[in-house]
Amino acid sequence: MNRTIALFLFIFTSITAIAQSPKHDLRFNKLASQWDEAIPLGNGTLGALIWQKGERLRFSLDRVDVWDMRPMKGLHRKEFSYKWVINQVNKKDYKPVQDYFDAPYDREPAPSKIPGGALEFETKGWGQAEDVHLSLKNAVCEVRWANGIILKTFVDAVKPLGWFRFENVGNDFKPRLIAPKYQGEVKVSGDPVGGDDLSRLGYKQGTIQQNGNSITYHQEGWGGFSYDINVRWKRIDSKTVEGVWSISSQYPNKIANKKAAVVTQNAISTSFTKEFTAHVGWWNNFWSKSAIHVPDTLIEKQWYLEQYKFGSVARADAPPISLQAVWTADNGRIPPWKGDYHHDLNTQLTYWPAYSGNHLDEANGYINHLEQNKVNYKRYTKLYFGADGIAVPGVTTLDGTEMGGWIQYSLSPTVSSWLGQHYYLQWRYSMDKVFLKNKAYPWIKGAALFLENITIKDGNGHRKLKISSSPEINDNDLSAWFLENTNYDLALMKFTFKAAEELAIELGLKTEAARWNKLLNEFDDFSITDKDELRFAPGLDYKESHRHFSHMMAIHPLGLIKWEDGPKAQSIIKNTIQLLDKIGPDYWCGYSYSWLANIKARAKDGAGAAKDLQIFARAFCSINSFHLNGDQTKSGLSKFQYRPFTLEGNFAFAAGLQEMLLQSYAGFIEIMPAVPTEWKDASFENLRTEGAFLVSAKKADGQVDEVKIVSEKGGVTKLKLPFKTHFVASNAGFKIKSAENGFLELTAKPGAVLVLKNGYE
């Protein structure tokens, strides 16, 4: 066998197996003693956390749509108006705005995501749990105790239920259902970060009833909402018990969900083994979508853990990923920041890795949620802004209703623009023309129409917002409003009109495209210092450490200032990053490091990107890989040392590594554009690019050895050659044309496959 064939077989048969390597698993010699260090399981609708509470094994159970949906008390008053806020800003009388629109979020316990409940199993006499293992390959948790008892448990990848199997247990074995504590003394109130006591919700405590080997917990919530948890179990033999649990939710005037007890009754007639086989099939397909191998074992393992969590919380037919998704805090309190949908950063970062990571199906849950709530968003747009088009609240409930909070961000006029980028990315990475016509362009057009309606022209003919902000600069103070466009708002508005023009051209709508181009050209340039550093806004330089890099939106994620644009753009990117690092991370949290890794990758700084990813994984994550926001090492990486769990930092991490290995945002495919020089060997398989191309590549001994490109839909792209000389090892369906400066122009038929090899001059 010659070297070329051997290497080809090695690359494209071995990389997939990496995703299934046990070295990426979670493995401990004891069960966690608190919920945010637990083993996480989930399927986008249901979730479980496996841990030890006192002398009991505990499954913290959750369902994505278990929500208290009461309107935010005091928010919808006659002053609820963008025009009124503008007048208050101009009058410099801002306290009424804070009292009316900011304060309710802190003061009121709901609306909020709420926990489901818990299963507990008495473990007294079992001895210590000696081996706790989460297999990423199969999404199954296995626990072994000193006395020989074994637990295997999983949340079914496609059905709304979870399974458990205990081996070597006695006749006295039985589960207990534990209800959240909705009654009792209120000790914590007005704490949106730590979470108020659940008893603030004012619910009557639910009922728990047992009927043979079945237990049901029924809880009434606000406004006719209710949910049930049912657990059901059976003896397989004298030493083995199998069981199944489910959660169902019911909302008035909505299609009824199948009751949890019905789901478990249908399931218990099958078996753990049979259902596990179908569950594993889903995960095998998920892991086949992409794979990465890098020599930094910390970064590689964290990436696989992020992929696992994404597969556990994202589905096309489930609500999108909220702050904690299906792993709501199990501590007797409302989850941090009410477990809601924060669209001023959190949901956006959460879906970054879906595109190049080749998980577009799962990302559709985000799009579907936005589509389903369009009518509600348009109600809000008319009510608050008094305008047509599409605006979205920056902080919302499950159905997209506004919740208030710091209104510079929770009621920002550019939220729908940032959400629009996800429509744009879903189109560019899928090249699905039906999606383009029916969803992507209508959304971006709606956002563009809205911005056209609420912006004005200044004395120089430049279009601007009457008041602008930059998350979360100057918090919720009057000074957080600017009378000139911030770079954050400006970047999002420019992106919206640029994308609207591009998509209109794609659809042959020349008149509409010309309209968007005219509006785009009415916006001013970004505000930069004489040192080529992006400011927050005209008159306000970057001079304070802050967790949200809102002033850098034009660099990443929007790509309006690109390294590939030449010396001026490179100077702006490099100097803005240097200033950020110089001022330092005092008030960063974990997602800041993840985001910065993406930005540095765009600046082709592999060493810098890798360092920030290492810091995130080492210092800002729990032992189970959950992003805990603060510096858990307390080593000066941030002055935030708290531990509220949110997911956006985790998924932005995964996107950062993908950005180091493959980029296509600049109109061409670039292989390993930001890999540290010490990473002599690295590889990836089936990362996705704009244009719907799947790319695999391997670097060995410091050189890219081979690149494989598969065209899903056909079309044209460019490849920046990663080697000095090359030869075509295999080609089926590509037309290749050499271009200047080391590029190839590629024209592909659907399904075309191209393999290029390093010529090793």
Neighbours of 224 (CB within 10 A): 11
Can you read off the two tokens belonging to residue 581?
A: 């690092």
Neighbours of 276 (CB within 10 A): 19
pLDDT at 471 > cutoff 60? yes
CA separation for the pair 470, 411 (Å, rounded): 12
What pLDDT digit, counting tens, does each position of 588-638 carry?
Answer: 999 999 999 999 999 999 999 999 999 999 999 999 999 999 999 999 999
CA separation for the pair 555, 488 (Å, rounded): 11
CA separation for the pair 726, 157 (Å, rounded): 43
CA separation for the pair 499, 427 (Å, rounded): 11
Q: What is the pLDDT of residue 6?
A: 39
How far is Cα of residue 336 from the mean position of the Cα atoms in its chain? Answer: 16
Tell me what the pLDDT averaged over the chain comes to.
95
pLDDT at 12 > cutoff 70? no
Can you read off the two tokens belonging to residue 454?
A: 């609420």
Are the beta carbons of 672 and 704 closer than 8 angstroms? yes
CA separation for the pair 274, 728 (Å, rounded): 46
pLDDT at 503 > cutoff 80? yes
Burial 92-124 (b: 16+ CB within 10 A, else e): eebeebeebbbbbbebbbbbbbbbbbbbbbebe
Crossing angle between the packed helical segments 346-356 and 415-430, to the nearest 10 degrees: 10
Give just the sign of the alpha carbon dihedral 623, 626, 630, 635. Answer: positive
**Minimum mean pLDDT among 187-191, 354-358, 418-422: which range?**
187-191
**Residue at 192: amino acid letter:** P
Residue carrying structure tokens 């956002």: 447
CA distances from 590 to 410, 546, 656 (A): 21, 12, 13
pLDDT at 9 > cutoff 70? no
Tell me the mean pLDDT in the region 536-546: 96
> What is the dihedral angle through the alpha carbons of 252, 258, 260, 263, rounded to the nearest 10 degrees?
180
Residues 6+ apart with CB under 8 A from 373: 399, 400
Q: What is the pLDDT of residue 740?
A: 76
Are the beta carbons of 120 and 57 closer than 8 angstroms? yes
CA separation for the pair 419, 343 (Å, rounded): 8
Q: How much of the chain, in percent, has pLDDT values that exceed 70?
A: 97
Crossing angle between the packed helical segments 346-356 and 360-372, to the nearest 10 degrees: 140
CA atoms within 13 A on the CB side of 152: 16
Give just the sign of the alpha carbon dihedral 493, 494, 499, 500. Answer: positive
Burial 152-186 (b: 16+ CB within 10 A, else e): bbbbbbebbbbbbbbbebeeebebebbbbebeeee
Are the beta carbons of 486 and 535 closer than 8 angstroms? no
Instruction: Name the β-bridge partners of 165.
Output: 152, 242
Query: What does DSSP say about strands 715-720 and 669-671: parallel, antiparallel, or unpaired?
Result: parallel
What pLDDT digit, counting tens, does each position of 570-584 carry?
Answer: 999 999 999 999 999
- Using pLDDT thresholds of 50, 70 and 90, give the confidence band for residue 256: confident
Can you read off the two tokens belonging to residue 121?
A: 């199993």
Q: Count of residues for the chain?
A: 761
Backbone angles phi, psi at 341, to 5 degrees: -105, 105
Tell me the mean pLDDT in the region 693-698: 98
Residues 6+ apart with CB under 8 A from 426: 355, 360, 363, 364, 367, 432, 435, 440
pLDDT at 10 > cutoff 50? no
DSSP of 533-577: -B-SBTTB-S-S--S--GGGTTTTTS-SS-GGG-HHHHHHHHHHH
CA separation for the pair 226, 314 (Å, rounded): 24
Crossing angle between the packed helical segments 297-313 and 346-356, to the nearest 10 degrees: 110
What pLDDT digit, counting tens, does each position of 281-339 carry?
Answer: 999 999 999 999 999 999 999 999 999 999 999 999 999 999 999 999 999 999 999 99
Q: What is the pLDDT of residue 18?
A: 44
Are the beta carbons of 344 and 315 closer than 8 angstroms? no
Q: What is the pLDDT of residue 741?
A: 87
Give just the sign of the alpha carbon dihedral 625, 627, 633, 637. Answer: positive
Helices (H), 398-520: 407-410, 415-430, 433-435, 441-454, 487-506, 510-520
Q: What is the pLDDT of residue 383?
A: 98
Q: What is the pLDDT of residue 13?
A: 39
Residues 6+ apart with CB under 8 A from 550: 470, 471, 472, 473, 486, 487, 488, 536
pLDDT at 665 > cutoff 80? yes
Can you read off the two tokens belonging to residue 79?
A: 């002053």
Q: What is the pLDDT of residue 19?
A: 54
- Using pLDDT thresholds of 50, 70 and 90, give the confidence band for residue 11: very low
Residues 6+ apart with CB under 8 A from 609: 596, 597, 598, 600, 601, 656, 659, 660, 674
Are the beta carbons of 456 and 443 closer than 8 angstroms? no
- Using pLDDT thresholds of 50, 70 and 90, give the confidence band for residue 761: low
CA separation for the pair 594, 611 (Å, rounded): 10
What pLDDT digit, counting tens, does each position of 15-36 carry?
Answer: 343 455 899 999 999 999 999 9
Tell me the mean pLDDT in the region 235-250: 97
CA separation for the pair 650, 321 (Å, rounded): 12
Burial 250-264 (b: 16+ CB within 10 A, else e): bbeeeeebebbbebb
CA atoms within 13 A on the CB side of 426: 28
CA separation for the pair 406, 749 (Å, rounded): 50
Residue carrying structure tokens 């316990």: 109
Tell me the mean pLDDT in the region 6-22: 48
CA distances from 705 to 266, 700, 701, 760 (A): 53, 6, 9, 9
What pLDDT digit, counting tens, does each position of 93-149 carry?
Answer: 999 999 999 999 999 999 999 999 999 999 999 999 999 999 999 999 999 999 999
pTM above 0.85, yes or no: yes
Residue 291: strand, helix, or coil: strand
Residues 6+ apart with CB under 8 A from 333: 188, 194, 195, 196, 197, 198
Are the beta carbons of 471 and 405 closer than 8 angstroms? no
